[in-house]
Structure 1
């Protein structure tokens, strides 16, 4: 009996959250046959507590390089989009956050559509929703984007990217299937 391959791309896989996602895939996703990491830093396993059973292939590139993104996403089944620039300094690099968080996400979405990838999971943050007031009993259905969020420029860039992903959800692909981009 042959098992269908299931290839996953993890953007930002060399970062803190990406390392944990790859560990989780290694431990709990026996259906995954290959993990591709797309990051500006080469992937090296930094977490303990697991051995790599699933091959991990590191692709070093900025997510704004549309040609490289398209090449890495060729033949992929699912994309876990974690790549992001977080800048909470007093004078943050707003242009870089816009370029990576918003424009980079647009490139990822477009590559998913062009490659007929149905599943794109976007890693968001509470930041676009967290203002200076308390949040009680808040969830994804009750919280709305707060333009005065605590880390305003980062939060606004993440909110813009999240909006694009949600708008791409349910699109018909060239192969007749629909996108599922939660």
Structure 2
């Protein structure tokens, strides 16, 4: 089968270096949490824009049957029901997969979810994804982390126009950022591990800031509350605070 040459920027012992990777054509992608807010947009983008994909597997605990209609003559969209906390589900979904985009995550904005449940999904679920990559021979893992891995910290220190090299006192006391930080560490530590077939696993972790866009239930809730409050949105932070957001479509 023909191959394409890809150049990836990876980090080893904190230092960036370029790695040349031979990627086969007509790849199979798996998107965990593929029916969620971010996941469904990623699936749509993969189908519409990628020229090197034969199939996109959509793995989620709750399936959106309408996503089957995203299939085209060139790209097949397959829905797979399962949970990342069940290793067997992940192993089955990962069969014959070349690239996995791991977006499945339990986010708790209102503090209503038990901490142990958040840790189970976000940490143990990520462990299952990594192990499935190793055992099934999936060579590329992209993890969607969060800006909350960095901050704001529990002291509320400002993080002004920084990047991944900016010094910041990272300390968390909430289960969500703790779980995402641990999962990110697992993903980065797995980079370079040998997988089935003798090849090397390549991993990366992305830290998007708050994402907004179509099908975002939290933004819908804020909008509805604003309408009910006479078209007013109440802010709990000073007007001088900047908080960057990213639109979901280009993500």
**TM-score normalized with structure 2 length:** 0.65
Give CA-to-partner distance per residue, 1:81-137, whole Å, 9 cap, x none. 000000122454111111100000000000001111110000011012112222123
Contact 2:25 2:53 in 1 (8 A): no
Aligned residue in 2 for 1:74: 95
Aligned residue in 1 for 2:51: 30
Q: 1:147 deviation in Å?
A: 2.3
Aligned residue in 1 for 2:188: 166
With over 3 angstroms needed to count, the CA separation of the structure-2 counterparts of 1:144 and 1:61, relative to structure 1, is farther
Mapped to 1, the partners of 2:189 and 2:26 lie a distance apart of 29
Q: Specify which of 177, 192, 195 is matched with residue 155 of structure 1.
A: 177
Contact 2:133 2:195 in 1 (8 A): no
Aligned residue in 2 for 1:111: 132
Bigger shift: residues 130-139 or 13-22: 130-139
Q: 1:145 deviation in Å?
A: 7.4
Aligned residue in 1 for 2:200: 178
Q: 1:173 deviation in Å?
A: 2.2
Q: Specify which of 122, 133, 143 is matched with residue 122 of structure 1.
A: 143
Mapped to 1, the partners of 2:112 and 2:86 lie a distance apart of 26
Aligned residue in 2 for 1:138: 162
With over 3 angstroms needed to count, the CA separation of the structure-2 counterparts of 1:60 and 1:51, relative to structure 1, is closer
Mapped to 2, the partners of 1:128 and 1:56 lie a distance apart of 32
Contact 2:99 2:140 in 1 (8 A): yes
The alignment status of 1:88 with 2:109, answered yes or no, reads: yes
Give CA-to-partner distance per residue, 1:64-91, whole Å, 9 cap, x none. 1111211110111000000000012245
Aligned residue in 2 for 1:97: 118
Aligned residue in 1 for 2:19: none
Bigger shift: residues 91-100 or 159-168: 91-100
Runs of 5+ in structure 1 lacking a partner?
none
Aligned residue in 2 for 1:8: 29
Mapped to 1, the partners of 2:46 and 2:188 lie a distance apart of 24
The alignment status of 1:62 with 2:86, answered yes or no, reads: no
Q: Which has the higher strand share?
A: 2
Which structure has the larger Rg over C-alpha atoms? 2
Give CA-to-partner distance per residue, 1:41-76, whole Å, 9 cap, x none. 113447xxx953221111111111111211110111
Q: Which runs of 4+ in 1 moved over 6 A?
A: none
Cα root mean square deviation, aligned: 2.2
**TM-score normalized with structure 1 length:** 0.88
Aligned length: 177
